[in-house]
Structure 1
Amino acid sequence: MQDDLVQKLKSDPNYHELVRVRSRFGWALTGMMLLVYYGYILLIAFDKEFLATRIGDGVMTWGMPAGLFVIVFTVLITGVYVRRANKQFDDLTQAIQKRVQA
């Protein structure tokens, strides 16, 4: 019984589309996150003077907004993924379930 279900699932074109779209989107977001995070780490490693430069006449340096940007960016791309998953990915999953269970 399980083998029949697996074969139905593997033969469903919506399943292949879901895997393709979700994988591509996940890798794109992963690449963006790696770029931002490692960019920040490389900035810390190779340009400490820039991060230590004060903004205006205050005591805040460029390191604070740069670090905050990394955190906010992480939250934002998580939200982007969840939003897309709740719309497109869930619709495809429901279509797959309907077709496979029929």
Structure 2
Amino acid sequence: MQQDATIYKRIRQNPSFAELARKRRHFSLTLTTVVLASYYALMMTVAFGPDQLRRPIVDGWTLTIGIPIGAAIIIGGWLLTGLFVSRANGEFDQLNEQLVREATK
């Protein structure tokens, strides 16, 4: 148990740990902001300008512009999640493994 505490202390004191935490926090906050901003922009349009979303894509069609916009927000959220997972499994995991190797030397 004492050895684990020593390893954790070494990791926390390593400047690379602060860099990893900063990069991960910045990246996740950026993606969160993009998703929330797009979602709330749609919600504000629904609340204050619903006529904008009721317009058909092409005159004579029943499909309105709101449907593909909503679908794009959902698909965009999936894609951004995939982007985060890809970066987390690549760059962030490599930095994490490097920290553990350095701490257990």
TM range (shorter): over 0.9
Match of 1:84 among 75, 83, 87: 87
List alignment gaps of at least 5 residues for structure 2. Answer: none
Residues paired across the two proteins, number: 102
SS class of match (1:59): coil
Provide the C-alpha distance between the structure 2 equivalents of 1:47 and 1:66, rounded to a whole number of angstroms: 14
Indicate the SS of the match to 1:61.
coil
Runs of 4+ that moved beyond 4 A: none
Q: CA deviation at 1:4?
A: 1.7
CA distance in 1, matches of 2:15, 2:101: 13
Task: Give how far 1:55 is off.
Answer: 1.4
How do 1:1-102 and structure 2 match up within 5 A? Answer: 1=2, 2-56=4-58, 57-102=60-105
Give me the whole-angstrom Cα distance separating, in 2, the residues matched to 1:60 and 1:35. Answer: 25
- Secondary structure (helix, strand or coil) at the match of 1:85 reads helix
Normalising by structure 2, report the TM-score. Answer: 0.91
SS in structure 2 at match of 1:30: helix
Please state whether the residue corresponding to 2:53 is helix, strand or coil: helix
- Write the deviation string for residues 3-54 of structure 1: whole angstroms up to 9, x where unpaired: 3222211111221111010001111111111111101111110111011111
Indicate the RMSD between aligned Cα atoms, in angstroms: 1.0
Q: How many angstroms apart in 2 are the aligned matches of 1:11 and 1:71? A: 40
In 1, distance between residues paired with 2:45 and 2:64? 14
